[in-house]
């Protein structure tokens, strides 16, 4: 990685909000380290976007590995110079969408896997980066949450538990890591038609209902969210710490 430039480490950056954020940050002059799990059938499309970001001047280091494994954390950290990571973005979307009733009801194991993937894996990576002295001064620590943190959607119970865990960790990290000069926040994106959103049972109905209640009568786009990731990466955003920032055009007000 280019030690003279800022590095954004993105966990889950091969599609959706993570990839849109990577593209925006590359345009802003960041180098990128992207950890992702991409099927072979989708890899060519992802690599084409990586090529475009590299052609624009960013050094892009990709790792097609499971971000939830300790050995992946160790391997990725070896590629990061000390004091180089300006921004860590947690965009992992992996979990169970089972209902609470029926033959295929949610199990304890389903909940544990989901809460780890979409919740406390953020803390695992943050702690590892701190211990390896990889964060730069005035670093930013961001993760994506959703309106499902407090509202009930069919099949969303495990993910809701994970997002609640994510936000609880955010509050504590915001306070305890302030002494390191790091700010920690969550971004609550509005309903966005990403691959993970389309996996939610009844996502088409949810999308249509969201269009009706959103003041701007449209869904949130990945680019809407990426713009706010970029804004929070700027020096002027240092004093934003320990909060859930809604990027939804006001849909959560209704």
CB neighbour class for 40 (10 Å; exposed up to 12, middle 13-18, buried from 19): exposed
* pLDDT (mean) for 13-21: 96
pLDDT score recorded for residue 171 = 98
pLDDT score recorded for residue 203 = 86
DSSP-derived secondary structure for 15-60: SHHHHHHHHHHHHTT-EEEEEE---HHHHHHHHHHHHHHHHTT--E
* pLDDT (mean) for 12-33: 96
pLDDT score recorded for residue 154 = 87
HSE (side-chain half, CA atoms, 13 Å) at 103: 0
Structure token digits, residue 140:
């930013």
pLDDT for residue 182 is more than 50: yes
185 with 177: CB under 8 angstroms?
no
pLDDT for residue 54 is more than 90: yes
pLDDT score recorded for residue 149 = 87
Q: How far is CA 44 from the centre of its chain?
A: 22
Q: What is the pLDDT of residues 123-171, one digit of tens each?
A: 999 999 999 999 999 999 999 999 988 888 889 999 999 999 999 999 9
Structure token digits, residue 135:
């964060």
Instruction: Give domain limits for the chain.
Output: 7-253
pLDDT score recorded for residue 2 = 46
pLDDT for residue 175 is more than 50: yes
pLDDT score recorded for residue 196 = 85
Q: What is the pLDDT of residues 65-97, one digit of tens each?
A: 999 999 999 999 999 999 999 999 999 999 999
pLDDT for residue 35 is more than 60: yes
Mean pLDDT of the chain, nearest integer: 95
229 with 25: CB under 8 angstroms?
yes
Distance CA 112, CA 162 (A): 9
* pLDDT (mean) for 49-62: 95
CATH class of 7-253: alpha beta
Q: What is the pLDDT of residues 218-244, one digit of tens each?
A: 999 999 999 999 999 999 999 999 999
pLDDT exceeding 70 applies to what percent of the chain? 98
């Amino acid at each position: 990685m280019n030690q003279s430039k800022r590095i954004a480490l993105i966990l889950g950056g091969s599609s959706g909000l993570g990839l849109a954020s990577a593209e925006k940050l590359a345009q802003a002059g960041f180098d990128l380290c992207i950890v992702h799990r991409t099927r072979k059938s989708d890899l060519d499309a992802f690599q084409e976007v990586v090529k475009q970001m590299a052609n624009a001047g960013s050094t892009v280091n990709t790792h097609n590995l499971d971000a939830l494994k300790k050995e992946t954390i160790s391997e990725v950290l070896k590629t990061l110079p000390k004091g180089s990571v300006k921004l860590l973005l947690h965009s992992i979307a992996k979990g169970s969408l089972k209902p609470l009733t029926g033959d295929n009801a949610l199990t304890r194991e389903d909940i544990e896997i989901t809460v780890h993937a979409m919740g406390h894996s953020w803390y695992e990576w943050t702690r590892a980066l701190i211990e390896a002295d990889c964060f730069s001064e005035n670093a930013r620590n961001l993760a994506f949450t959703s309106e499902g943190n407090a509202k009930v959607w069919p099949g969303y119970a495990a993910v809701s538990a994970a997002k609640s865990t994510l936000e609880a960790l955010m509050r504590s990290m915001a306070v305890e890591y302030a002494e390191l000069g790091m700010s920690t926040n969550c971004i609550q994106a509005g309903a966005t038609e990403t691959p993970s959103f389309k996996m939610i049972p009844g996502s088409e109905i949810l999308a249509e209902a969201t269009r009706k209640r959103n003041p701007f009568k449209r869904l949130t786009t990945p680019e809407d969210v990426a713009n706010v990731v970029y804004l929070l990466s700027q020096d002027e955003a240092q004093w934003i710490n320990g909060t859930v920032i809604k990027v939804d055009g006001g849909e959560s007000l209704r």
